[in-house]
Amino acid sequence: MLKRPERYATLLRVRRREEDARAAALAKAVGAIHNAETHRHLLVERHEDTLRRAAEAAKGSDATLMERFSLYERHIIQLIGHADRDIQDLHAERSQRQEEFEASHRRRKMIDRLIERVKTRWNDHVFREERKTMEDSVAMRYALRADERRNG
């Protein structure tokens, strides 16, 4: 028994929603990477600015100020290290989201192809049934006319 193509509409809708959700998760991961890289870039700029200001302060040879710049520089370097690790983690997450999206996309495409095959088979079935009905009606009409000629 052939299945009607409409029976697969819900499955296709579910697969499309899944694919859309995976695409949104991938976009979110890419956005998080962009934000983390921007944050790291700002930290690097702050580090360069601190070094520049420390060099200017070194001309005055104020020991406490130099110690503060040194501590602040170490702190910024730690923040940059944390940002680098966060970026690596986000890239790993993006790769995972990319794989999930691609798998979801393949599943949806598989359902699309299945529906197309079912539609083709269904249309062929309907065409054969209509043709069979037409041939039967022509045969019945011919038989009725032949009966009318014999009896008539």
b/e per residue, 127-140, with b = 16+ CB within 10 A? eeeeeeeeeeeeee
Check residue 1 and report its DSSP letter.
-
Q: State the pLDDT at residue 152.
A: 65
Q: State the pLDDT at residue 46.
A: 93
Tens place of pLDDT per residue across the chain (152 aa): 667 777 888 888 999 999 999 999 999 999 999 999 999 999 999 999 988 888 887 777 777 888 888 899 999 999 999 999 999 999 999 999 999 999 999 999 999 998 899 899 989 999 999 999 999 998 898 888 888 888 86
Alpha-carbon gap, residue 14 to 142, rounded angstroms: 52
Indicate yes or no: pTM above 0.75: no
Q: State the pLDDT at residue 47.
A: 93
Q: Per residue, what are the HEC states of 42-64?
A: HHHHHHHHHHHHHHHHHCCCCHH
**CB-based burial label for 124 (10 Å; 0-12, 13-18, 19+):** exposed
